[in-house]
Amino acid sequence: MSALHGKVLARRDGDDLCFLVVGKVTCHHSPALREYAEEGLRHGATSVQVDLRDCSYCDSTFLGTLLQLKRRFDSCSPGTFRLVCPSAPLRQMLAQIGAERLFCIADEGAATDLQTTWQQLADTVDHAAARRFKQNVVEAHQELANAGGALGQRFAPLAEAVSQELDLDHEPHRPHPGAG
């Protein structure tokens, strides 16, 4: 595994996208997951399974990215996005923040057929993708904030702060008064 101590494997099986999440995953894993799933959707994928049995931790950006993808796939056909066998630590985290109600969670079924060819998704962000990475962080937290309830209350201020930071990072630089 990488220095980030986690990895995301992906494969497409007909109309199904399958992800296997292992270890600790963070905002650094989110862009590749999102891009793979959105590309699959554009090319006819109709369902997503995210196998979390070996996932020991995910940060709020990764969770928000899962929620974004759930919304996108379920808008086409409800119930087509599901989390498979979340590990005990992940289930506890989902329950603590009130997020378990947002997902279809299956306790059986698996995306873990390791005889199938899996692609390991990138877990780093290069400088060219930095803006897209920051935008993903903002959108993931906005998704959590929009979930309402305790989850919305918890993440709305963070979503606003991250959004403002992104806006400030990309304002044109103005010369300092008196510089010249």
CA–CA separation, 83 and 79 (whole Å): 11
Percent of the chain with pLDDT over 70: 81
Q: What is the mean pLDDT of the chain?
A: 82
- Residue pair 147/168 in contact by the 8 Å Cβ criterion: no
| Nearest by Cα to 99 from 58, 132, 136 | 58
Kindly tell me if the per-residue pLDDT of 161 is higher than 70. Answer: yes
pLDDT in tens, 120-146: 988 766 655 677 777 778 788 888 888
- Residues 99-116: tens digit of each pLDDT: 888 999 998 765 555 566
Nearest to 133, CA basis, from 48, 15, 33? 33
Domains of the chain (ranges, CATH numbers): 6-124 (3.30.750.24)
CB atoms within 10 A of CB 173: 5
pLDDT (tens digit per residue) in 37-63: 999 999 999 999 999 999 999 999 999
pLDDT of residue 176: 43
Q: Could you give the CA distance from residue 94 to residue 74 in angstroms, rounded to a whole number?
A: 20
